């Protein structure tokens, strides 16, 4: 089934929302010159969590009250078992892509996500759970359901929307995770971007994202970074 982009109108509302997403990117890139372990700072996490919820709520309000479009314009539909299976399958494929990225960044001596994961392992479990829930829900709404769809509407091309979403999401992870970590995350993002673009449903992506982050922020630290 071929999915068409959203209607272009109102264009100004889409430009406004995209500008907000780019502001999120700018705030994330502000961490580039700081130590990567800042991702394990409670203050940094608190800021990121509040920022992402505020941005997601503003974008949703823009969709409802300015664009006059329904939840489906963000890829939000009722949860089905197919969504669950797609999310779990995406998680498995994403882990493979992420692992392949690990070999690549090691070969290029770019560093990887291990420093950030080690730092996150030091923060309290409730904070990690809050982070997992926040990123899984808000980032999928912001970068897939909103950014991908609105850029696709303006460009009249789903592939263009997917590419812009992929690039912005990848760049946003340089701050805190470093170049190597961002490369790994970008390879993982190819999988989740394809999942959204091919289904136009955000819930499979939310499931995939939450499973990935739970694995990275809870399971891996429990196995590797005790003590």
Q: What is the pTM of this model?
A: 0.92
- Report yes or no: 182 and 173 within 8 Å, Cβ to Cβ: yes
Instruction: For residue 17, give both structure tokens.
Output: 């929302």
Quickly list H helices, the chain: 11-29, 42-65, 81-107, 114-120, 125-134, 149-155, 158-171, 174-199, 203-214, 220-224
Residue 3 forms part of a structural domain: no
Residue 98 forms part of a structural domain: yes
Residue 91 forms part of a structural domain: yes
Residue 2 forms part of a structural domain: no
Domain span at residue 218 reads 11-71+80-224
Q: Name the one residue in this structure whose structure tokens are 């272009």.
A: 8
Q: What's the CA gap between 182 and 32, in Å, rounded?
A: 11
Q: What's the CA gap between 169 and 17, in Å, rounded?
A: 15
Residues of the chain predicted below pLDDT 50: 1, 35-37
Residue 5 forms part of a structural domain: no
Residue 86 forms part of a structural domain: yes
**What contacts 211, CB < 8 A, 6 or more positions away?**
87, 88, 91
CA dist 143 → 7, 55, 117, 179 (Å): 18, 11, 22, 20
Residue 4 forms part of a structural domain: no
Residue 109 forms part of a structural domain: yes
Number of domains making up the chain: 1
């Amino acid at each position: 089934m071929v999915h068409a982009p959203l209607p272009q109108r109102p264009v100004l509302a889409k430009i406004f929302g995209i500008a907000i997403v780019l502001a999120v990117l700018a705030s994330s890139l502000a961490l580039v010159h700081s130590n990567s372990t800042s991702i394990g700072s409670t203050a940094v996490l608190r800021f990121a969590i509040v920022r992402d919820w505020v941005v997601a709520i503003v974008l949703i309000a823009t969709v409802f009250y300015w664009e006059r479009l329904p939840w489906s314009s963000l890829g939000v539909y009722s949860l089905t078992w197919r969504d669950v299976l797609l999310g779990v399958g995406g998680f498995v494929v994403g882990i493979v892509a992420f692992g392949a990225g690990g070999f690549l960044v090691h070969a290029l001596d770019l560093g990887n996500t291990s420093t950030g994961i080690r730092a996150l392992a030091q923060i309290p479990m409730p904070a990690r759970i809050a982070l997992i829930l926040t990123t899984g829900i808000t980032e999928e709404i912001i970068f897939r359901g909103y950014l991908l769809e609105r850029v696709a509407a303006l460009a009249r091309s789903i592939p263009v929307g997917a590419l812009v979403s992929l690039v912005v999401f990848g760049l946003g992870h340089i701050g805190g995770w470093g170049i190597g970590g961002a490369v790994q995350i970008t390879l993982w993002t190819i999988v989740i971007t394809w999942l959204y673009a091919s289904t136009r449903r955000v819930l499979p992506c939310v499931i995939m994202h939450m499973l990935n982050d739970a694995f990275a922020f809870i399971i891996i630290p429990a196995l590797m970074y005790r003590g």
